Amino acid sequence: MTLRAACWLTFGILSAAFLVAPLALVVAFSFGENPHATLPFGNPTLQWYRELFAGDDFLAALQNSAIVTSCVGLLSAVLGTAAAFGFTALDRKLSRLGAQLISLPVMLPPLVLALALATAFSATRIPLGLGTVIPSHLIFTQPFVILIIYARLTAFDRSLIDSARDLGASSLQIFFTITLPLIAPSLIGATLLSMAISLDDFVITFFTIGGGMTLPTLIWGMLRTHLDPTINALGTLVLVLTLGLSVIAFKLTRYKG
Partner 1 sequence: MSSVRSRDVAAVAPSFLVWTGFFFAPILYLFVVSFWSVRQYKLVTDASFDNYLLAAGEYRHAIVFTLALAALVGVVTTVFAFAMAYMIRFYAGRFGNVLLFIALTTLFGGYLVKIYAWKGLLGSTGIINQALLAAGLISEPISWLLYSPFAVVITLVHFLLPYALLPINAALRGVDDAPIEAARDLGAPPSRILIDVILPQCERGILTAFALAFFVSAGDYVTPQLVGGTDTFMIGNFIQSQFVNRMNAPVGAALAFATLLMTLLVVALLSLLYRRILKACAT
Closer to partner 1 by CB, 36 or 93: give it.
36
For the stretch 1-24, what's the b/e string if a residue is b when 16 or more beta carbons lie within 10 angstroms of its beta carbon?
eeeeeeeeeeeeeeeeeeeeeeee
| Near partner 1 in 13-42, by CB under 8 A | 15-16, 18-20, 22-23, 25-26, 29, 36-39
Q: Which residues pair with 32 in a beta bridge?
A: 44
As a whole number of angstroms, the distance between CA 230 and CA 144 comes to 33
**Is residue 166 within 8 Å of residue 208, measured between CB atoms?**
no
| Near partner 1 in 137-156, by CB under 8 A | 138-139, 142, 146
Closer to partner 1 by CB, 63 or 103: give it.
103
Helical segments of 90-178, H only:
92-107, 110-123, 130-155, 159-166, 171-174
- Preceding amide of 40 cis, omega within 30: yes
Q: Cβ contacts of residue 60 below 8 Å, gap of 6+?
A: 212, 213
Stretch that binds partner 1, among 45-53, 79-87, 151-159, 183-191 (CB under 8 A): 79-87
| Near partner 1 in 237-256, by CB under 8 A | 238-239, 241-243, 245-247, 250, 255-256
Closer to partner 1 by CB, 38 or 159: give it.
38
Nearest alpha-carbon partner for 160 in 139, 138, 182, 145: 182
169-208 footprint of partner 1 as x/- string (CB under 8 A)? ------------------------x--xx--xxxx-----
The one among 54, 66, 97, 223 contacting partner 1 by CB under 8 A: 223
Stretch that binds partner 1, among 47-55, 59-67, 114-122, 160-168 (CB under 8 A): 114-122
Q: Count residues binding partner 1 (CB under 8 A).
A: 79
**Is residue 190 within 8 Å of residue 246, measured between CB atoms?**
no
Closer to partner 1 by CB, 25 or 151: give it.
25
The one among 110, 129, 210, 212 contacting partner 1 by CB under 8 A: 110
